[in-house]
Structure formats: C-alpha cells, structure tokens
Structure 1
Amino acid sequence: MSLQEKEQKIQELESKLDTIKNDPELASHALVSDVEKKITSLKEETYRHLSAYDHVYLARKPARPHIKDYINNLFDDFMEMHGDRYFGDDQAVVGGIATFNHLPVTVIGHQKGRSLDENMRCQFGMASPEGYRKGIRLMKQAEKFHRPIITFVDTPGAFPGIESEQNNIGEAIGQSLMFMSKVTVPVIVFVVGEGGSGGALALSVGNYMGMLENAVYSVLSPEGFASILWKDLKGERVAEACEVMKLTAADLHQFGIVDEIIPEALGGITENPALTYRAIRQIISRELDTLTRKSAHDLVSERYKKIRKIGEVHG
C-alpha cells in the first residue's frame, strides 16, 4: 500500500472521528478514545518507517509551506524586490529585505503556487535566468550593505523552456554559484521541499545548510534518473531510483552535504508548521550569532573549504 493510500485511510478515520464528536448519540468517551488510538497507531505505523520515495511524495505535497509562508512566519518588515535589471521579473524566485530579531537580512527563495493559475505564473517553482539574476542582484546589494543572506530552496529544477535556453540559463546558474561562493557576508541555506538539479544548487552555496526532515535534494528528478539510467519511460522504477540516488535528508547528512536535519511533525510539516518554524527560527538565531562575528575572509574561506571537502569525499 502506497503512502498516499495510507493517508487516505487516516483521513477517513479523522472524518469518522469528527462525525462521532458532532453526534450526541455517538459521542461516548470510550468510542472517541478508541478511534483516536486507532488514528495515532496508524500514523505511527505509516510515518515512522518511510522509504525514499515516500519522502519525495511528502516533499512535493502542494500544501507544504512555500517561501512566502516562511517569510511571514520567520521575518518582520519584508519588502519584496522585483526584476533582474536585464530582462524581466521571474515570479519563480522571490527575494527582498526583511528583519530578523531587528537585524536586516536578505531573503531569497523559490516560489511554488497552490492553484494551477499560481503555478503557471511561477512556472511550478522552476526559475528562468532572470530569476537567478534577480537573486544575484539582491546578493550584491546584501554584500554592499553587509546584510546576511538567507535562502530557501524548493524547486524541481531550472525552467527547461526554449526561452530559458535563449536567455542563457546555464550562465545565470553559473554566475549565481560563483557569486555565492565568494560573497563576503554570511549565507544560510535551507532546503525546505524539493531540491532538484542546478536550479536548486544555484541558491545552495552557504556557510550553513539545513534540510527539512522530509525534503529531498538530488542531481535531477527520480523520474529523469530512471529514464536516463534504465530507459524507464513509464515510471515503473521511480521508487527504485529514489533509493539509488540517496536524496533524503538522512542520506545527505550522513554524507556531510547538509549540516543539520530540521524536524517536521509526524506526517510532515503540513501537520504542524509551527513546530518547524520554531526550529528554523532557533537555527537562524544561532547561526547569525556565530557567523556575523566572523571576518569576510573567514566566511569565504570556510565556505570554500566546505565545498572542497564535499568534492574530495564524493568526487
């Protein structure tokens, strides 16, 4: 039984519980307690032992918080900034200035939509060259005014359309990687959902990198991996690809690619977003306190050593 089917069973039980509670003839303490125990037991059984494919499913859930949810719950006085000053404004990347505990910071992240119309406007979180150039513009501004940079990664990959290629998506990603590698202010990165390919990597070079418990981060999508490696065009080996790719937070933490796994509620962040917001808020406070005390030279040097260490171990 798939995770989605198990979740449907849980939802049916929760619906049954609501019906019982709202019916005076049924709402006995014993019956309510019995259904609640069944729900708790089923959740424990469902979510305690997840496969890599289950993590991909949870990372892609449309109801997961998006960049603006994180901004609204973690920062104050956010002022969004638009445009790359070259071509246009890409809604797949949101960025601007905010305050965290009264400290000005620059926040940048991928934006997904909830409805079809929203997703069409932001290209399902897949950024075009102008999105990454907007990010670079904001990072340059952050460096000029000595503001720490905080990024939120949640994208299947860069936008693959012909317009993206015509406007040189590869060059834009490369420029973003290069600038994040050498920027002289602290950079804090959070992988909060789907982290796919160069589109994710372009906002991922930081002094600290945290990853949500059910987020994923990989060189490409499992579907793309299976189609290239095994010529699987029907999606029959996607679950197997997820295992082979080692894309979960636990895998990446073990490999030393991410610094910390950030907890989510049982069933995913959608069950209790406040729990994860509190954890992220504590991490930002801790990392800013540490990183803002370091010199520009040390920040760049430590970031470089971190990247080189990953390359030496996994190259």
Structure 2
Amino acid sequence: MTRKIIIIALLSLSFASYSQYSFEGQIAENVEGKTVYLSIIEDYRKLSRPYFEQIIKKTKVDSLGYFKFQGDNLSLNNRIYRIHVDECSEEAVDTNHFLGRCENSKSILFIANNTDAISFPTSFADEVLCEITSTNSKSDAFLQIDALKEVMAIDFYDYRSEANQKLNSKKWFKKLQDFGQDLEEPLAELYIFDFLSDKRNETYSHYLKDISKNDYYNALGQRLVAKYPNTVFTELYQTEIATDLQMAAQTKVAYAYWKWILGSLLLLSVLFNIYFIVRQKSLRKHHKDQTLGKLTTQEQKIVNEILKDKTNKEIASGLFISLSTVKTHINNLYKKLDVTSRDEIKQLFS
C-alpha cells in the first residue's frame, strides 16, 4: 500500500513538472522592482498594444534585471501571449505608458502553452524582448512574420505608383498567406489576417476584393475550427469572414450597379450628341432651303458657283451671261441675304 502511494506521488510530481510553464528573460540592469506583465490575447484585433483586461499575471524585475513567470494555469493548447514592461521612472508612469504609448515601453507577442519553457534573452545590440528561445517551435512565428512584413514595406516604398501597388498587393497577399500556412499554426495566420484585413492599412481595399475570390479564408476558418474549436478568436474570425463576404458582395453589386448607370449615362450622352448633330444638320439644311427659296433660279445658280470658289468671270462664262449681269446678281444677293461679302455667303450656306 505504501509502495503504491509513493508511485502515485512520483507520477503526480512528474505530471506537475511537465505541465508547468516557465517564461523568463532579462530586461536591463538597474531596473530592479519594475513590473512585468503577462497577458493572454483572445481577440486578435487587440494585438497592437496591451489592454488591462488581457493581463493574467505580473511579476517584478530582480536586481540583475531578470523576470520570470511560472505556473500551471495556462491552456494546454497554444494561445497568443504578450509580455510587457515599462522602463520609465515611477514618476513618469501613467495609463499611456502602461498601454505601450511610450518609447520606453517594451513588448513582445509570442505563442505558447502550459508546457513551454521560454526565455527572452537580451540581443547582441542590448535590445530587450526581441528574441525568443523556446521549447515550442511556434513561439517565434510572429517575429518571423514581422521580418517578412518589413521586406514588404520596402517593396511598397520603392515603387509608389498605383499599378505597382496593385501588383505588390496581389503578390504579398499570397506570399504572406502561404508563409503563414507553411508555419502550420492557425494563430500565426490570424496574425497575418489581422494585418491584411485591417481597415487602417492600404491592404484593406485589396482584401475586400481578395476575399470574394480566394478560398484561402474559408480554408483558414476550417483549420481554426479543427485545431481551436469553441474559442473566442475562432468565433470572431468566422463572424468577420461572414460579414466581410457580405460586404464584398454588396460592394461588387454596388460597383456593377454604378458601372451600369455610368454606362447608361455614357450611351445616352452619345445618343444625345448624335441627335444634336443630326438635328443641327437638319436645321441648317432647312435654313439653307428656305434661304435659297427666296432667290431666283439664276441667283441660286450664282450662289452655287460662289460656293465652288469661282470668280465672276468664271461664273459669267459658265452661265453664258455677261460679267455686268453677274455683278448685278451678286449685288442683289447681298441685299436679299443681308451679307456684304462672298465669305459671308459661304458661311451662310456651309
């Protein structure tokens, strides 16, 4: 009986040891007593900064600048966590500092679960909370994605034309989505999705077009349901996708509607212009016919000759009349048509 109790106790200790997490790191020297916060992020739309309601634990930095979180109260499945510290002096600490709106605030996002041992070493440039060493291969996924996003930013910055923006959007959407899928961690894909679908980013307009024709978003939803069923972030994603698909469809319908309206207006404009031109020609012909109707047959012949740019001598020869008769007819034309020159006659009958 005693032997059985000892075995059970040893197994319990072994399980407890295995199911504990340990997150530790170094902030800096001479910051003893600073508070470090551990947060869990269920809403991927709140990844940009710390929120009070996300905090699950806090600890103090020791005299050497080290901190450590340890326990067994986390999920056995991967979740998104944040470690955050404010290096400002106690006199300067306020709500804005705590929420990460101060350049002295340090923060890092990572993926972990209740069994992980993670350290955040100081980098070679004495930067803190920018590197991860973990027993969980997914922990540094966000750092990898951020590095890829920096390359994307440079790509967009180099060529700012609208044509290049469209080409880059298409290229980087696929590149980031493929990269996230290759990580085999839907939480990493949510991190990418949050960035690409953010209304504040230039990527949002392309996202609305992409979601209506790219099956990637439905596939990500299926991966989330399979690995993280009944979680806040999975339900949030499903709701967002359904809403955005509806919005994209409405945008597409609205675009088609306005395209039809603009096309109809353009057609009406073309038809009106054709009608106007035909109408003007008809009016000019009617006016010309009316004007010619006021003239004698001989005067009409002389007008036709003038329109052919013939001289008085050429008109006289062509109509077998004298030059003086031509001049008399032309003077009569000036009076009847209320003009003073051949050019005005041409303009009147052009």
Query: TM-score band (shorter)?
Result: under 0.3
TM-score by length of 1: 0.28
TM-score by length of 2: 0.26
**Structure of greater Rg:** 2
| Larger RCO (CA under 8 A, 6+ residues apart) | 1
Name the structure where helix makes up a greater proportion of residues.
2
